Amino acid sequence: MKNDFFTGLTATDLSHTISPAMPYFPGTEAPVFFKPFTLASHGFAEQRITMLTHSGTHMDAPAHLLEAGPTLEQLGLPHFVGAAAVLDVSCVAGHIITKDDLLRFRRLLNGKNFALLHTAWSKHWGHKRYFSNYPVLSQEAAQWLSSFGFKGVGVDTISFDVHDSSTLPIHHIFLNKNIVLIENMANLQNIPAAEFLFCCLPLKIAEADGAPVRAIALCDSRKKK
């Protein structure tokens, strides 16, 4: 029987490829790939991958920073799927995204489960510049966004806080409300619709403070931006 579920839908991949060469947060460990079994020697191929839970395009759970915060598996599947919108803040001057920069998106955000911030910083993925002076929300802007009751907020940078922050105030603002954070997103500029279905499923890891995700946008290709 033919499955017509995806008829009329356009899928956009919003995740970076996981590889040994991918960027990782300064001060943490690089992912390690090893091939203990190969087709030539064993008749089948299998890899061993060692990496931190916050590697690549990944999701932060409240348990990442909060002692009593839920882990990803405690949040449940519905927390990772829903209506979303991209906020194009790529033209914001400087490195601080203010509440005033976001107010024009108020109507677009109503009724959404996810807000994805397109800063255009992902163009520096794989380069040293990616790790510092990337755009971040002001605390006022984060508080305003958190008032919409989102399931999650995403960004195409390595972190929601400045790279040398020891207190991570922006993380706390969202995670205190059980709003998951998706970092290191890709291709936000390629989503062909202003509103779409967002699917961001983390690996099912026990007691997960975070996990790599395969994030995608599903858009009705008949609708235009």
Could you give the residue numbers annotated as active site? Answer: 64
CB 136 within 8 A of CB 165: no
Question: How far apart (Å, rounded) are the C-alpha atoms in residues 62 and 20?
Answer: 27
SS3 category, 64:
helix
At 118, list the tokens: 């397109």
Nearest to 69 by CA among 184, 202, 172: 172
Does residue 78 sit in helix, strand or coil? helix
Nearest to 55 by CA among 165, 174, 184, 161: 184
User: Both ends of the chain: CA-CA distance in Å?
Assistant: 33
Distance separating alpha carbons of residues 44 and 53, to the nearest angstrom? 27
Distance of CA 4 to the CA centre of its chain: 28
